[in-house]
Amino acid sequence: MSFIKELHSGLGLRASVLMALVVLTVATATDPAPLGAFDLTPEGIPVEAAPQPQIDDDPEANLPYLFAVFIITWAAFFGYVFYLSLRQRDLRSEIEALKRALAQREEAENADSNQEAETQ
């Protein structure tokens, strides 16, 4: 029974992570500005003809984003390792409980067979 509860809670966690990834992907992939054939700048110049801003080629300008992704990735990794260690500990305790239950069952069967042998 506890295995089913653990499986259900594990699926809930996986579904939550999957939903978060989908939302993040959709949020970063969509362009917030509407696209139209006749978009104009405030000065009335078509967007295609407007001068484009200069792109900053400074690689150090992107370092905060790199560090943010680096930290998020490692946090997710260690969170997953922590989740696996908890799951492994639960499985070990469940295996020990099953071993004890099996040993008690075998002892009860041996006691029953000994009582039957004594009565004969």
* pLDDT tens, position by position, 63-115: 999 999 999 999 999 999 999 999 999 999 999 999 999 999 999 998 888 88
Question: Which pLDDT score, from 0 to 100, does residue 87 have?
Answer: 97
DSSP 19-74: HHHHHHHHHHHS-SSPP-TT-B-TTS-BTTTSPPPPPP--GGGGHHHHHHHHHHHH
Question: Which pLDDT score, from 0 to 100, does residue 61 have?
Answer: 85
Report if residue 100 sits inside a domain. Answer: yes
Range of the domain at 67: 2-29+62-119
- pTM, 2 dp: 0.44
Report if residue 53 sits inside a domain. Answer: no
Report if residue 113 sits inside a domain. Answer: yes
Residues whose CB falls within 8 Å of the CB of residue 94, separated by 6 or more in sequence, listed in order: 2, 3
How many domains, the chain? 1
> What region does 44 belong to: left with phi over 0, alpha with psi -120 to 50, or beta?
left
Report if residue 11 sits inside a domain. Answer: yes
Mean pLDDT of 33-39: 52
Report if residue 110 sits inside a domain. Answer: yes
Report if residue 39 sits inside a domain. Answer: no
Report if residue 46 sits inside a domain. Answer: no
Report if residue 57 sits inside a domain. Answer: no
Question: Which pLDDT score, from 0 to 100, does residue 7 have?
Answer: 47
